[in-house]
Structure 1
Amino acid sequence: MTGDLEAAQRFYGAVLGWTFRPTRLGEGFSVAMRDGVPVAGIGGLARRLGVPVAWTPYFAVDDADVTAARVRERGATMAVGPLAFGTGRAALAADPDGAVFGFWQGEVIPDWTARPGPGAAVRLELRTRDAFAAAVFYGEVLDWACERPGCCDVSYEQDHVVIRRGPDTVAVISGGAVEEAPDPQVRPRWHVHFDVPDLEAAVETALRLGGRTVSPVHTTSTSRRIALADPDGGLFTIVALQDGTGPASGVG
């Protein structure tokens, strides 16, 4: 969600190589495409809705009102909605530790999921205080791990909670965040990761266009990553693979 759709498209188009197409949600929304695959949505309504500029994961639900009631019942916060938008209804909420997320009832773009892991184009990670407690909250609110066909599976792997729908990983939940930390990279928050073929080139472009770095470069055996803020303060992370193969097409 941004305050200026055209400015956001110019920034992310240059930094991440995205192109954009309109949606049926109206003129204030667009879908970001890479190699013909939808990877993100941008809405220019932050000022109108009174919400900060931010990247926020939206999870599809069958009934937005039921989901909103579940959020409130578990001591979490409904911030906006559910409100009608084009072909569906959307809402913003904050979990018990303050991490903001959205949910959507309505038409979903085909093949639009998130696939964490090396080579994915988009990855979602919740860094929170207690990964197990967060998994219970989101599982109950979003109906994960239910017995109906099509529900997400939840597993615990190497101190992380991994949520999958079929073969695709929807999100990863990691513990250890500090609730009152002044650094937004440390507080409980949903992190969105986008792959780039050249980390330095993407950082240089972001800085030239008014963005800024908010973390040092982190290096692992498979990738290098850095957290950035766009000109309006929206936080995101870019990741470059270490083997030089570049990003594969994924969606999120």
Structure 2
Amino acid sequence: MAENRASVYGEGVPCWVDAQLPDVEAGKRFYGELFGWTFEDAVGTLVWARKDGSPVATLGHKTDGRMPTVWTVYFATPDAAAMCRRILAAGGQVVTAPTRIEALGTAALAVDPAGAVFGLWQPGSHSGFGARHEPGTFAWVQLYTRDTEEANAFYGELFHDALFDADTEPDFGRAPVSDVFPAEMPSHFLVHFRVEDLDDALEGVRGLGGRVQAPPFETSYGTVAVVTDNQGASFALLQR
């Protein structure tokens, strides 16, 4: 794969997303139709998703049926091993230790103190999104949690510069679970993709076999609807 056009992302900036799906071919049909993505093989069972030629996500085959079908956000870090040590010290857990993925980079999975899962990406030849904030690409990730103060303390310690730098365009917010979901919903990250017309996108989701989990609502960063794809992976659509 050629080096993407994006500059290297600063530590704590959301730089990549992937979906682990039971049926990757079905995922290609769903997201290809919904967002206009094209696809090509990456490494192993991973498939690159591209928007107008730029890398925007990967789809992978979920090998363990007990694992959830999910979209995962990855935060950039220059040193995944050191970041994992900081996560442990701050009260989080490391689910998957830093793993080299050929020349592309190093990935890890972690859990915050409230149970929300997120990824880390230490770039090699692949630094992250080749396009974002455009229709059909990543636009935002929201952490829905039961304790926003705990989340602010945890992520503020890990990603201080990315969260609190006034010169950085924000990509990451925090909100109480109960703002959108039932109070018993576990803490989780919700990946948002930008769309030009939310109503049209929701019609597309339904037509492709997905469903609307939360109808459109207003936020400080745009109008959002929460949906699931035809295999049960939740994500959000964002119109700005």
TM-score normalised by structure 2 residue count: 0.74
Q: In the alignment, does 2:109 pair up with 1:92?
A: yes
Q: 1:66-93: per-residue Cα shift (whole Å, max 9, x none)? A: 2222222222222223333223332211
Report the Cα offset of residue 29 of structure 1: 1.4
Give 2:68's aligned residue: 52
Are the equivalent residues in 2 in contact too, given 1:114–1:124 (CA < 8 A)?
no
Question: Secondary structure in 2 aligned to 1:51?
Answer: coil
Q: 1:29-79: per-residue Cα shift (whole Å, max 9, x none)? A: 1222223333222222x2249531111111122332222222222222222
Indicate how the Cα distance of structure 1 residues 116 and 95 shifts in structure 2: closer, same or farther if over 3 A, else same: farther
Question: Secondary structure in 1 aligned to 2:48?
Answer: strand
Q: In the alignment, does 2:214 pair up with 1:215?
A: yes
Unpaired segments of 5 or more residues in structure 2? Answer: 1-19
Q: In the alignment, does 2:74 pair up with 1:74?
A: no
Give 1:128's aligned residue: 145
Amino acid at match of 1:74: A
TM-score normalised by structure 1 residue count: 0.71
Calculate the aligned-residue CA RMSD, in Å. Answer: 3.3
Indicate how the Cα distance of structure 1 residues 56 and 82 shifts in structure 2: closer, same or farther if over 3 A, else same: same
- Tell me, in whole angstroms, the C-alpha distance in 2 between the residues paired with 1:16 and 1:54: 18
Indicate how the Cα distance of structure 1 residues 33 and 60 shifts in structure 2: closer, same or farther if over 3 A, else same: same
Give 1:194's aligned residue: 193
Indicate how the Cα distance of structure 1 residues 31 and 118 shifts in structure 2: closer, same or farther if over 3 A, else same: closer
Indicate how the Cα distance of structure 1 residues 212 and 5 shifts in structure 2: closer, same or farther if over 3 A, else same: same
Report the Cα offset of residue 100 of structure 1: 0.9
Question: Secondary structure in 2 aligned to 1:109?
Answer: coil
Indicate how the Cα distance of structure 1 residues 42 and 118 shifts in structure 2: closer, same or farther if over 3 A, else same: closer
Give 1:13's aligned residue: 32
Are the equivalent residues in 2 in contact too, given 1:116–1:172 (CA < 8 A)?
no
- Tell me, in whole angstroms, the C-alpha distance in 2 between the residues paired with 1:116 and 1:237: 14
- Tell me, in whole angstroms, the C-alpha distance in 2 between the residues paired with 1:234 and 1:80: 20
- Tell me, in whole angstroms, the C-alpha distance in 2 between the residues paired with 1:75 and 1:17: 40
Matches within 5 A, 1:1-252: 1-23=20-42, 26-44=43-61, 46-48=62-64, 51-87=67-103, 88-107=105-124, 109-110=126-127, 112=129, 121-141=138-158, 144-145=159-160, 152-155=161-164, 167-169=168-170, 171-178=171-178, 182=182, 187-219=186-218, 223-241=222-240
Indicate how the Cα distance of structure 1 residues 118 and 134 shifts in structure 2: closer, same or farther if over 3 A, else same: farther
Amino acid at match of 2:31: Y
Unpaired segments of 5 or more residues in structure 1? Answer: 146-151, 156-162, 242-252
Report the Cα offset of residue 120 of structure 1: 7.5
- Tell me, in whole angstroms, the C-alpha distance in 2 between the residues paired with 1:109 and 1:7: 25
| Corresponding residue pairs, total | 218
